[in-house]
């Protein structure tokens, strides 16, 4: 017979994992499922390298880009079986370790044809 864990025990374990993952005590009053998801996200971000120093600075500054989307947002688009990822910066966009002034120029680079960048990346219909 399998032992059933109580919510208190599970939450206690998650709070310890939170402390290890974030280096801070877990926020009080959080549901265990939230703690679990946040811990998983943090572990995944660590494995993939997380945000660059520049992206972190821009997130802390809280500025928005000219695309009316939050700085630090990552846009993902699959084009011809290849995944393309763009990070929104305060003064443009980061794609393939290069700074770009517009999403449309990135869409053109990816497709080889003129595209509306916001449409290509799903920000507009």
Question: Per residue in 7-62, pLDDT tens?
Answer: 566 888 998 998 998 888 888 888 888 888 888 888 888 888 877 777 777 677 65
Q: Give the C-alpha separation, 21 to 41, whole Å.
A: 10
Q: How many helices (H) and strands (E) does the chain have?
A: 5, 4
Dist. CA 113–CA 103, nearest whole Å: 13
pTM, rounded to two decimals? 0.47
Q: Are residues 31 and 62 in the same domain?
A: no
Give the pLDDT mean for 56-71.
63
Q: The tokens 């703690």 sit on which residue?
A: 35
Of residues 74 and 9, the one with the higher pLDDT is: 74
User: 59 and 101 share a domain?
Assistant: yes
Smallest Cα–Cα separation from 39: which of 60, 23, 63? 23
Question: Are 32 and 10 contacting, i.e. CB atoms less than 8 angstroms apart?
Answer: yes
Is 57 in the same domain as 112?
Answer: yes
**Which structural domain range is residue 73 located in?**
53-120
Give the H or E element holding residue 109: helix 103-111
H or E stretch covering 100: strand 98-100
The answer to whether position 39 is within a domain reads: yes
Taking 90 as the threshold, does the pLDDT of residue 116 lie above it?
yes
Q: With pLDDT > 70 as the criterion, what percentage of the chain qualifies?
A: 84
The pLDDT value recorded for residue 84 is 92
């Amino acid at each position: 017979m399998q032992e059933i864990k109580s919510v208190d025990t599970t939450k206690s374990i998650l709070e310890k994992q939170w402390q290890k993952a974030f280096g801070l005590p877990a926020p009080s009053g959080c549901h265990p499922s939230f703690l679990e998801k946040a811990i998983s996200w943090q572990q995944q971000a660590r494995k993939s390298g997380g945000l660059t120093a520049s992206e972190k600075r821009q997130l802390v500054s809280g500025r928005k880009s000219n695309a009316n989307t939050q700085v630090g947002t990552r846009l993902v688009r699959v084009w011809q079986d290849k995944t393309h990822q763009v990070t929104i910066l305060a003064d443009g966009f980061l794609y393939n370790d290069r700074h770009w002034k517009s999403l449309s120029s990135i869409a053109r680079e990816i497709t080889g044809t003129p595209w509306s960048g916001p449409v290509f990346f799903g920000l507009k219909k």
